[in-house]
Amino acid sequence: MQPLEAQLKQFVIDNFLFGNQNGFKNDHSFLERGIIDSTGMLELICHLEKTYQIKVQDSELVPDNLDSVNRLAAFVLRKQAAETMGASASAS
Amino acid sequence: MQVEQFLEQSAERYPDKVALICGTERLTYVTIEARCNQLANTLLSGGLNRWDRVAIYMENSPETAFGIFAALKAGGVFLVVNATTKVDKLTYILNNCRASVLITTQKKLNEIREAWVQTPYLQTVIVAGTDDLSTIDPIDKKMISLEQAFATASAERPARRCIDIDLAALIYTSGSTGKPKGVMVTHLNIVSAATSITTYLENTPEDVIINLLPLAFDYGLYQLLMAFKMGATLVLERGFAYAFVLIETMLREKVTGLPLVPTISSILLQMDLRKYQFPQLRYISNTAAALPTEHIRQLRASFPHVKIFSMYGLTECKRVSYLPPDQLDIRPRSVGRGMPNEEVYIVDDVGKRLGPGETGELVVRGANVMKGYWELPDETSKMLRDGGFPWPEKVLHTGDLFTNDAEGYLYWMGRKDDIIKTRGEKVSPKEVEDAIYAMPQISDAAVVGVPDEVLGSAIKAFVTVKPGATLTERDVLRHCKERLEDFMIPKFVEIRESMPKTGTGKISKRALALNMEGSE
């Protein structure tokens, strides 16, 4: 399986750049570069929730979490860790 | 009155009040007035003549506002070009209106350098975001750093050069020929429309209005103009993608006015808004496409104390109608009645006025109606026609089909032509088709609007591929993204074996829209 960053980058290239990865880098801001608009952001969040089994809270809809491939990857890892801990805590 | 006086009068009345909040910047009226005077004086010393066109090409920012008011103060005509416009179209627009000045950012400059040699009328480029232009080859243009202008130019207000029937702005919209056309708007047009709108919205100097829409779009532009007219505060956002950022900003700045379009409301309503309190929020306005009934219900539940204004308009007269908030539950699908100081009526094909329940073209009379399209007399005479009064007067034929009820409330029924209204912008199918035809693999392309609850209409492209060529939907979308503004990119692409044709061999868009095979 591809590393998380590569998976997310591929999703962005496929869905928002329609396959054109010309110079697109993992630290590029989606908003500054006009890569993802408001409706695209909805698609992205749906994808994160479905693919990585996380639940994105309203208060997490901020650029710090979502505005580049690197930030997305860090956010997904943080969420998965927190949700795994939460699940094992409730199971014990 | 002239449009720059919106700023000048507010700067005199409320000099130290915060007029504009953008990111971390908070600018008072007196500061903005000084910056705009400095930029106006820079334009004047650079030789700007009365009525010269000043193009502004950048994302929403304080500098966009400075460009608008400085152009007016210097006696010029401003145009704000959508920041997602590609270089070919920007070049077309600059040449079409023979703009002599372009105000842009250093970042944008790199993307549009290839336009330089093709824009013979453009003399001066003013660059925001840098005070060092030494590394940029000016070719044949005079390059000025905006920061340098602020450091050196006089902040004294220049003498007024215009009167209120002079042009103030050109607002480019999609034309049926596939080329954009410039809607000519006078100072009087803007003052009239802004006065009518602020009257029915009951705006006051205490208002804090948040603008998420591009200033190139007239709905966005007017948020700035009306806020400054009232001496209110504008929270200017670069755009809208992060719903929680909007919530935080609204809470922090105690926003009183929230102008929406249905795409924004659908994202906002994904959140559980009942968790937050917005005691200061006074009104929400909506235009571009009618709000889906479900959005209205949810907005009402989330903001029970807030007035919701459902509105309709077109760039050629700015706004046509608004539905008084107390009518929203009674007639949720109506866009209301004509705004103050404006008359609207519905006519048949020969210009006869129609009664309630009949469908025809909406006609608008008022001081808000445009002067015409820039250097397009034929297109102008199609839209502005003799009103049949004992005095000479042209009225605006909107091209929009409407019906009204017994109380005169208007209901939008569709377009007379094939122009697609999506996200409140008009899109000419021809412009999108021309872009698609530039792909060598394409045999036929036809673009239509399909009903979409949130967008009004969504753009759908049907294409056929030349024998032996291969092409995917994504190839078409990628190509469109490289050539068209974001709102013109099709939402759907369908690759077909063949196109339905009419008896004369043309592609039958009606058959495509109905998604039927065969010929008519």
pLDDT digits (tens, 9 = 90+) for B262-318: 888 888 888 888 889 999 999 999 987 778 888 888 999 899 999 999 999 999 999
> Residue A1: pLDDT above 70?
no
- Among B101-105, B177-181, B508-512, top mean pLDDT goes to B101-105
Contact assessment for residue B423 and residue B289, using Cβ atoms and an 8 Å cutoff: yes
Question: Is A15 or B163 the better-scoring residue by pLDDT?
Answer: B163
d(CA B518, CA B470): 24
d(CA B52, CA B175): 23
Pairing mode of beta strands B233-236, B18-22? parallel
- In chain A, the percentage of residues whose pLDDT exceeds 70 is 92
Q: How far from the centroid of its chain's Cα atoms is residue B87's Cα?
A: 19
A19 pLDDT tier (thresholds 50, 70, 90):
confident
Architecture of domain B240-342+366-391: 3-Layer(aba) Sandwich (3.40)
* Domain A4-87 superfamily per CATH: ACP-like (1.10.1200.10)
The residue-averaged pLDDT of B492-504 equals 88
Residue B409 at interface with chain A, using a CB cutoff of 8 Å: no
> Residue B517: pLDDT above 60?
no
The residue-averaged pLDDT of B165-194 equals 93
Chain B hits for A66, Cβ within 8 Å? 242
> Residue B408: pLDDT above 60?
yes
The residue-averaged pLDDT of A71-80 equals 94
Identify the sign of the CA torsion A28, A29, A34, A38: positive
B520 pLDDT tier (thresholds 50, 70, 90):
very low
Please report which helix (H) or strand (E) contains residue B427, including its range: strand B425-427
pLDDT for B402 equals 95
Nearest to B256 by CA among B236, B232, B229: B232
Cβ contact A39–B238 (<8 Å): no
pLDDT digits (tens, 9 = 90+) for B41-97: 999 999 999 999 999 999 999 999 999 999 999 999 999 999 989 999 999 999 999
Contact assessment for residue A49 and residue A7, using Cβ atoms and an 8 Å cutoff: no
d(CA B459, CA B421): 9
Chain B hits for A23, Cβ within 8 Å? none
Cβ contact A38–B263 (<8 Å): yes
> Residue B354: pLDDT above 80?
yes
Question: Is B490 or B422 the better-scoring residue by pLDDT?
Answer: B490
pLDDT for B516 equals 44
pLDDT for B518 equals 40
Q: What is the CA radius of gyration of chain B?
A: 23
Q: pTM here? A: 0.89
- Among A18-22, A82-86, B207-211, top mean pLDDT goes to B207-211
pLDDT digits (tens, 9 = 90+) for B17-47: 999 999 999 999 999 999 999 999 999 999 9
> Which of B237, B244, B472, B476 has the most A C-beta neighbours within 10 Å, making it the best mutation to test the interface with A?
B244
pLDDT for B519 equals 37
- CA distance to B29, B37, B82, B225, B483, per residue, from B486 (Å): 33, 34, 10, 24, 9
Question: Is A72 or B424 the better-scoring residue by pLDDT?
Answer: A72
Query: Which residue does chain A place closest to B59, by CA atoms?
Result: A32
Contact assessment for residue B487 and residue B220, using Cβ atoms and an 8 Å cutoff: no
**Is B4-186's fold the same as B240-342+366-391's?**
yes
Break chain B into its structural domains and give their ranges: 4-186, 240-342+366-391, 422-513
d(CA B115, CA B95): 10
Query: What does pLDDT average to over chain B?
Result: 92
Nearest to B491 by CA among A20, A45, A18: A18
Cβ contact A34–B486 (<8 Å): yes
Cβ contact A37–B474 (<8 Å): no
Question: Is B519 or B353 the better-scoring residue by pLDDT?
Answer: B353
pLDDT for B483 equals 87
pLDDT for B482 equals 84
Q: Provide the chain B residues 212-271 that lie in CB contact (below 8 A) with chain A.
A: 238-245, 247, 263-264, 267, 270-271
Cβ contact B243–A61 (<8 Å): yes
Bridge partners (DSSP) of residue B56 are B80, B103
d(CA B202, CA B7): 19
Amino acid at A63: P
> Residue B176: pLDDT above 80?
no
d(CA B247, CA B240): 11
Break chain A into its structural domains and give their ranges: 4-87
Architecture of domain B422-513: 2-Layer Sandwich (3.30)
> Residue A92: pLDDT above 50?
no
Architecture of domain B4-186: 3-Layer(aba) Sandwich (3.40)
